[in-house]
Every structure is written in C-alpha cells, then in structure tokens.
Chains A and B, each alone.
Chain A
Amino acid sequence: MAKKQHSAQMVFRLSGVSCAGCVNKIEGAVRQAGGVEDARVNLADKTLIVHGKAEPQTCIEAVRSAGYDAEIAKSSERDQRAEQRAHEQQHYRQLLWRSAFALGVGVPLMAWGLITDKVSVNTLNEQLAWGATGLITLAVLVFCGGHFFSGAWKALRHHGATMDTLVALGTGTAWLFSMMVVLVPHLLPESARHVYFEASAMIIGLISLGQALEVRARGRTSAAVEKLLELQDVSARVLRDGKEVDLPIEQVQEGDQLRVRPGEKIPVDGRVLEGKSLVDESMLTGEPVPVKKDEGDSLTAGTLNKNGSLLFLAEKVGADTRLAQIIEMVKNAQGSRVPIARLADRISAIFVPVVMIIAVVAALIWFNFGPEPQAAHMLVVLTSVLIIACPCALGLATPLSVMVGVGKGAENGVLVRNGKALQQSCNLDVLVVDKTGTLTEGSPRLTDIECNGDSDELLQLLASLEQGSEHPLAEAIVSAAQEKELQLQSPSDFHAITAHGVTGIISGKKVLLGNSKLMHKENIPLASWRSRADTLAEAGRTVMYAAVDGELQGIIAVADPIRDDAQAAIERLSKLGLRIEMLTGDNKGSAEAVAKKLQIDRVHADLLPEDKERIVAELQEGGERVGMVGDGINDAPALARADVGFAIGAGTDVAIESADVTLMRSSLHGVANAVELSRATLRNIKQNLFGAFIYNTLGIPIAAGVLYPITGMLLSPIVAGAAMAFSSLTVVSNANRLRFFKPSEVR
C-alpha cells in the first residue's frame, strides 16, 4: 500500500496574545523559521498551527522572539479530557470556597436570628449594626454570587431568563428589602422592619454548595467515554527502515507496519502480516472469550494482544479507526434528545418567566389579603417562590440519564445511535430476526453425504465442481473436501443454474449437483433417495442431489449450525415480552426446523432480500412496533424500515449506517442487553422527570404559602434555597445510579 505523505502539523498553545496585531507578528516570525511551510494563529483559542518540517523548539523560539510565549499543545482527545477535568476540579474548588465564605457569613447571622430573635431595625444602633452586616452580605453577593447577577443581566438583555435570573432576583430582592429597612425603617410598619441578609448569604452558599456537588457528580456521567478514550494507546511501535521505533500515535500512517507484543494494546486498525495470538476484544464487543488472530485477520485499535507477538499493517488510523468512530458515535448519541423529554423541554422554555409571574402574583395576594406584617410576608413569599423553583432539575432530567445509558451501552458492546432509538427500543412488540448469521453461525457446514459407492470419491467430484461457485453452500462442500485433504480438479463446461444447482465436467464425467428441480429438468429419477432427503430436510438441513453421468449417486446435506447462545438469548427476549419472528431465504423445511429448536413463534421462509422490508412494513401496518435484527448483508432496507434496526456483529458499514443500534458482538444477547438497557434508562428518565415535576408543582405552591392556613408559617427562603440546590443534585445522582446497570445475561 502506498504510504500517504503528509506535511507534519504541530499545534502550540500561545500566551500573551490579545489582538489581530499579535496574530500578524507571530505568524510573520514563525514563517521565517527554518522548515516552516505555513503558520496560522487562531486567536479565539489562542493556538498556533504550524505546517512543515521545523523542530518544535524552533517554532517556540520564533514565537518568543516576537514577544510572546508558546508551548506544545496537548492535542489528543484524552489529553483534552484530562485538561477539562482539571478545569472542572478547579471550578469545583472555587464553588466550594464561595459556598464556605457565603455560609460562613450566613450561618452566624441565621443563628443570631434564631437565638436572639433580634433581626428588626428600630434604633440608630441597630441601623448601624445591620448596615454594616448589609455591606458584608453585599460582599458575599458580589464575590460569591456575582456570576448569578452577571448571568441574569446578560440573559435579560437577550430576552432570556435562566436559573441565574431566579437566584439573582431572589437574593437581590431580599438584600434590597433589608437595606431599605436599614436605611428608611420609618417607611415600613414596625412589624415589617425585619432584615433578611442571612437569607441572601445562605441562599448563595447553599446553591454554590449544590453546584459544587453537581460538578462532581456530573463528571461521573461521562465516565464511559473516558474509559473508551483510555483504550486508545498513546504510542505505537512502527517498523521504519527495518528498525522498530516507538512513535506517538498521531504519527502512525496508513500502510505502516507495526509490531505489537504480548500484553500490549493494538494501537490502530489493521491486518495481521505475521504471527499468531489471542486478542481480547471484550472492551469493545462485550465478548468475554479472546479471539484467535492469524495471518490476514483484522485487528481493532483498543483491543488487547494476549499471548503472541504480531506484525500488522496499519489500515485505518486516527479518526478513521473503529474505536474513534465508536467514541464519536457514543458522544453524538449522548448529546441527543429523547422524545419523552418534549414536554419537559416545552416547560423549560417558558419556566423562568412563568415562575417570575407566579412570584409577583403570590406576593401581591399576600400584600393585599395576607395577615400582618404584610410587607414582610410579601417579601418572604416572593423570595421563596423565586428561589425554590428549579428549572435545572427539569432540564437535566433526561440528558443525564441518556448520557449514562448510552455510555453504559457502549461498555456492553451496544452502540445506540440516538435518544430516539433508545426510547423506541424499550417498547417493541415484535423482534424480526434474520436467521443466517444471527440465529445460526452464518457459515454452513457439510453434515451428511450418503451415496451408493465411496463417499470421499463423490465428495471429491462435487467439491471439484463447486470450486467455481461463490455460493455459501459450495464453500461448505469445498471446505469439507479440503479438511479430508482430497485432491480437487478443475471443472470444465461449468454452469450455475439459478435456483436449481450447478453442472460441469470433471475428468470426463458429467456431474450435476442441485435440488429436485434440477434432477427433474435432467430427467433423473429421485425415487431411491427422496425419503432420505425428506428426513434430512425435516431436521433443518439443506439437501442436494448428486448425479454422475445421468445417474443419481447420492445426496449431500449442508446445515448452518445454530449458534450456541441463540436458545438462551431467545428465552431472554421472550421473557422481556417480545414476540420473535424469523426471516430467511432458506427453504421452509430447514427454517421451521431451526424455529422449532429455538421455540420461535413464526417463520417467514423462501424470502428474497426485498421481501424482508415488506414483512417489516406489514407488521407495522398491523399496529405493531417492530425491531429488526440483521447482519446487514441484505438487511439494510429492512433495518432502516423497522422502528428499531439492530445491526449485529458490527457487520457492514451500510448496516451500521441504517441501524439504530449497532451490536459489536455477533450474538442475539446484544439485542436483549439493548432492550434491558433502554428500559432501565427510560425508567430512570421517568423517575427524574416525575421527581422534577413533582418537586416544582409542590414546591412552588408551598413557597407561595398555601400551607400557611394549616401551619401558620411561611417557608423560609433559606429552606427554599437548600431544596433548590439539592433538587438538581438528586437528579444527577439518580442518573448516576444507571452506572450500576448490569444485563441479565448469565455467562
């Protein structure tokens, strides 16, 4: 394979860059450095991309000579993730500090109010003392909660309202009212001269604490992608000029020859050139048994070489490897929406302004119809309603569960295309399964050869004849002859007669192999072999008649063995409430024999490829939700037509493109895993949505004071703040529970 020649690309992270002028200076300086073909600065992310053969240090020196600084940027996604996690950690600590500072001010103030009950402003001394407290609280609002206010202001300018709006309005109103009490107490009745500085500080503290814990918990929701990224090796041992050289993975090119030793990961996709080994593919397929790899076999990046040394040819590198594509697919699916979330999405869109209106209406009701002190009650209700409402819980209810669910699927070799597929997989009525390659091994084997004379002699003739055929049955016959080390001869005058069989001349003898139609056509009586052939067909085998020089010599039977795990997988799927129907192009007899063994409800046999799509459509017209499982060879249209298409065994690219769910492992257990996972995820989403809806529908009226006639108390804004902070944390934690999902498959 011709090696692609690329001009090397290096990426540097710049510091001190602020304007277009800097860009020109840096680009000019670096372009003059030796070996640089092109240099471009991206001002937005402060990076410099250099093409050419220049040494990295030369480029860094050139940047420094222009008055700036540069370092080699970490370019792999894994490094970027690590950087991201470091940022998250920093943000977590920042939030904790903010929370500690705000609570450090709020808790003593709250304790003072609870112990002494002196939180009113009636004298000049109290005005001064509370004025000073107000300024300290203002510092809390600015330093610990400033981002809520700037976010709220920016959103407001964009005609939007966010959680920041609610927090800023709630805490801001409480602080402003308290400051008004401090500055002009005489404007308010004596009973309403109550300050709420502690509420402002406590709310900021509690919400920051909730956010800090949420940052922590959310980091765990993307653990699956990180696990996949960790499968990617950072370097590879490449053969260059006859020597093995360790190179960064980014420098491996298609056509390179690579060496992988026992215990090492396969760095890129390729094909074995030399050596034998067992390769553990469980991390991608969920298949626990290591796979034997020999010369010519394909290797997948991220899998683990167990016991032998392999020399292989790199066929796909970088973003083209199957591992990279899986990561991309998982990331895309994790960000997709689930149809069930539509209602929550609609509510989220108008939630904050509606809550603001409810808060104002509730405040006015308390002001006009509530007991004394009306002004204080009005403020408490206004603040509590604004603070208790939690749009985050509603917004987070589905995406986090989808993230964890899709990631968990990838861990089990189930790649879900999007949230819609995930949702639809959970309520299927019928599962239509393609027989070959799904229920059976997909590679027919010779099971019986019965004849009047020497069976090896007949097999030799038939295998010689079938050498020219590409039919799977022909492969079975040729393989059987090769296993017996029979010498094959080249056929002459070979003819393949569609839906009948094959004919040809071997060593001067006219040999015919085919079904009863072929024999009738050639006027060869079947009488002596018909009953035996019928018996074999009833046992699920495909039977062919063999005639030599116009005389029937015997019969040969081929069968595609049922997969070892098919029976158990069908049982699992039936337990999940799915009706199984089998599709096959094989004859009815052998199809029914397989169906009987596996206790499959219904069989569609003798099908042409286009019939599969028609059958799926007919079932759908009957009002059933149909899942279709196939390996993609002839199934792409049916997979696309079904409500959920499952491509098994990571089959062909076409199948993966048309399938909603790709199963990395060639087993029907993958379908059962996918159904179980989708049900677990949907259950989790429903719990989250229910929790978020209930929380808001109960919390807002309680904060508005509906329980006052019974309890004689209003909900404290501090309690509202705590409830709000921990409601979204509850949603995140519940989504994280999905990480413990385990398929029911017994291994």
Chain B
Amino acid sequence: MGAILVNLVGLLLIVGIVWWFWLGPKRKANKAMPTADKLQILVKDGVYEPDHIRLPAGRAATLHFLREDPSPCSEWVLFPDLEVSAELTLHRDTPVILPAANPGEYPFTCQMQMYRGTLILE
C-alpha cells in the first residue's frame, strides 16, 4: 500500500510539474498604465512583478525597473530581441527605454535567465 502511495505521489508530482510549468494557464498580462503614470517592474525574490506586460506596438516605451534583490543575478535586465539591456541599480528606479517594435511577444530576462518576463506588444 505504502509503495503504491509513494509511486502515485511521484507520478502526480511529474504531472503537476508538466502542467504547472508548461501546460497550465499562465497569469494574465498586466495592462500598461495610462501614459501619465509610469509602468514599474519590481525585481525581487527571483521574479519580475509584473512579469507579463502588455503595451501598444509601434511606439517607444519606457519601463521602470526597481531592483530590490541584492543578488548579482538581478543586476541586469535583457531584452535580447530588442537589443536592449540595462544595469539595474539596487534600490533605485532604472528607466529602460524600449524602441518601437512590431506586435509580438518579447521575453526579458536576467543574465542567468532565472528572472523571466514577457513583454507583449499588440
């Protein structure tokens, strides 16, 4: 009985991992604030918050990163498809200027790709 239970838990864990990380529903993207307000992304505890950002395509935009994580992983944010990167100062707002781009999904990450986010231009 114990053996079956352990195996069952193991299998459920595998299914759970596959579902949660790859197949399951993702969080909805945060809509950009009105232009007067700035869109701020908190860099803390291994995540960007918000990690999904929706912005209008074809217009340059500025994202403000506030880094609160002292670990070196969080020091850089990279938008590889937009060829944009920025070094984030600890406890400071760092504006990151993004060029106008076509509609699509543009991932942004830290250097080690542990911090992950997606910019959705539409």
Contacts and interface: CB of A to CB of B under 8 A. Distances in A.
A142 to B, nearest CB: 15
Given A155-B47, A348-B113, A399-B76, A353 B66 contact: no
Nearest to B111: A399
A471 interface: no
B17 A356 contact: yes
Given A214-B72, A337-B78, A399-B76, A162 B46 contact: yes
Interface in B92-122: 92-93, 111-116
A705 to B, nearest CB: 16
Nearest to B65: A44
B29 interface: no
Contact of A335 (B73, B87, B112): B87
A160 interface: yes
B71 interface: yes
A335 B113 contact: no
Contact of A360 (B10, B21, B22, B78): B10
A160 B66 contact: no
B46 A154 contact: yes
A716 B83 CA distance: 43
Interface string A241-284: 00000000000000000000000000000000000000000000
A649 to B, nearest CB: 25
Interface string A67-88: 0000000000000100110011
Contact of B70 (A87, A155, A336): A87
B113 A349 contact: yes
Given A80-B92, A348-B113, A392-B112, A45 B66 contact: yes
A151 B48 CA distance: 11
Contacts of B49: 154, 158
Contact of A45 (B3, B75, B76, B92): B92
A371 B70 CA distance: 44
A91 interface: yes
Contact of A418 (B40, B66, B83, B92): B83
Contact of B111 (A45, A161, A395): A395
A162 B114 contact: yes
Contacts of A703: none
B23 to A, nearest CB: 10
B114 A392 contact: yes
Interface in B13-69: 13-14, 17-18, 20-22, 24, 26-27, 40, 44-47, 49, 51, 64, 66
A391 B46 contact: no
A303 interface: no
Contacts of A147: 45, 71
Contact of A391 (B6, B17, B114): B114
A44 B112 contact: no
B24 to A, nearest CB: 7
Nearest to B13: A360
A363 B10 CA distance: 8
Nearest to A375: B6
Interface residues of A, number: 59
Contact of A337 (B6, B45, B47, B80): B80
A728 to B, nearest CB: 9
Instruction: Name A's interface SS.
Output: helix
A154 B3 contact: no
A211 interface: yes
Contacts of B7: 364, 367-368
B72 A215 contact: yes
Contacts of A88: 70, 72
B78 A44 contact: no
Interface string A627-640: 00000000000000
B45 A151 contact: yes
B26 A159 contact: yes
Interface in A50-101: 80, 83-84, 87-88, 90-91, 94
A363 B86 CA distance: 41
Contacts of A87: 70, 90-91
A73 to B, nearest CB: 10
A391 B47 contact: no
Nearest to B48: A158
A536 interface: no
A469 interface: no
Nearest to A382: B10
B45 A150 contact: yes
Contact of A336 (B44, B51, B85, B92): B85
A596 B68 CA distance: 62
A446 interface: no
A84 B49 CA distance: 22
A331 interface: yes
A9 interface: no
A345 B10 contact: no
Interface hub of B80, B87, B112 (most chain A Cβ within 10 A): B112
Nearest to B81: A337
Nearest to B116: A160
B8 to A, nearest CB: 10
Contacts of A150: 45
Given A335-B85, A360-B14, A353 B21 contact: yes
A391 B112 contact: yes
Contacts of A198: none
Contacts of A336: 78, 80, 83, 85
Given A44-B40, A367-B7, A395-B112, A160 B70 contact: no
Given A45-B93, A364-B7, A367-B6, 20 more contacts: A42-B93, A45-B66, A87-B90, A91-B71, A147-B71, A155-B45, A158-B47, A160-B51, A164-B45, A164-B46, A214-B72, A331-B87, A334-B85, A345-B113, A353-B17, A361-B14, A363-B10, A367-B10, A392-B114, A418-B83
Interface of A: 42, 44-45, 47, 80, 83-84, 87-88, 90-91, 94, 147, 150-152, 154-164, 211, 214-215, 218, 222, 331-332, 334-337, 345, 348-350, 353, 356-357, 360-361, 363-364, 367-368, 378, 391-392, 395-396, 399-400, 418
27 contacts: A45-B66, A45-B91, A80-B89, A80-B92, A91-B70, A147-B71, A150-B45, A151-B46, A154-B45, A155-B45, A155-B114, A156-B20, A160-B51, A211-B71, A214-B72, A218-B75, A335-B76, A335-B111, A336-B83, A336-B85, A337-B78, A337-B80, A348-B112, A349-B116, A364-B7, A378-B6, A392-B114
- In the A-B complex, the 3 residue pairs with the smallest Cβ-Cβ separation, listed nearest first, are A335-B85, A395-B112, A151-B46
